[in-house]
Structure 1
């Protein structure tokens, strides 16, 4: 994939966002970390302590349990929603273009919160969990990726 010089690459998962700038050539990107945000992850017991709810029907002896709310996932979705707002600002300020690399679930949440104009201005959306905070594996993945 061609990643022009000075383009921004934003890598997101549920717990962190890293923005890189391509300081290399289009065919051989060299990424430099520009900005990073981390979501402090709390233990589930610190977020919520309730037991799953129970229900029963008065006309039947059946009883049931409700599934426990996934507080960790709610916290990740909240973080990714905040990141989507940051992405809109970055896209508006950047002239060289923006590539978005995000974990598939995070990408779905981001897409819901981006306006149509911002989505159209993105050079690419890559549904991939970038794994580490290092720029080199991400640059290699971008060089191999076909848009």
Structure 2
């Protein structure tokens, strides 16, 4: 994949984001860490202690329970929205090329919250669960990636 020098590569998983700058050649990227952000992931008991709600109908003796809310997934979705805001900010304040690498579900949430002009600025959106802290293997993956 052609990634020009000084392009930014944003790698995101559910709880961490790293922004790298390509300091190498277009077809041989070398990534340098520019920014690192981590979403704290507290224990479930710290996120919420309520049991799922119960329901009953006045005309029937049957009772039911509501499904337990996935509090960790909610925290990851909020983090993904913050990443979308950060990408919008980068796109507004600079004219660098952007590549987004994110886990498929996280990528979907980010896409929903990106501004249209920011989406147009993305060279590629790669739906791949990737450890954002590993610059060497990320560079190798980008080198082999075909748009």
Query: What do the CA deviations read for 1:100-125 (whole angstroms, capped 9, x no partner)?
Result: 00111111111111111110111111
Work out whether 1:18 is the aligned partner of 2:18.
yes
CA distance in 2, matches of 1:78, 1:96: 26
Deviations 1:108-145 (A, max 9, x none): 11111111111011111111111251100100110111
Q: Measure, in 1, the Cα distance between the counterparts of 2:98 and 2:118.
A: 10
> Which residues of structure 2 form unaligned runs of 5+?
none
Structure 1: how far apart are the matches of 2:132 and 2:24? 20
**C-alpha distance after superposition, 1:57-79 (max 9, x if no partner):** 11112211111111111111111
Q: 1:115 matched to which residue of 2?
A: 115
Alpha-carbon separation, structure 1, partners of 2:27 and 2:80: 30
Asked if 1:90 corresponds to 2:80, the answer is no
- C-alpha separation in 2, matches of 1:38 and 1:49: 24
Q: Which runs of 4+ in 1 moved over 4 A?
A: none
1:96 CA displacement: 3.3
Q: Which position in structure 1 is the counterpart of 2:144?
A: 144
Question: 1:43 maps to what in 2?
Answer: 43
CA contact (8 A) 1:4 1:96 kept: no
Instruction: Find the counterpart in structure 2 of residue 30 from structure 1.
Output: 30
- Aligned residue pairs, count: 147
RMSD, aligned α-carbons: 1.0
- CA distance in 2 between counterparts of 1:144 and 1:69 reads 39
CA positional deviation for 1:91:
1.9
In 1, the alpha carbon distance for the partners of 2:34 and 2:88 equals: 16
TM-score, length basis structure 2 = 0.96
Note the residue ranges of structure 1 that are not aligned, 5 or more in a row: none
Deviation at 1:14, TM superposition (A): 1.3
CA distance in 2, matches of 1:93, 1:143: 27
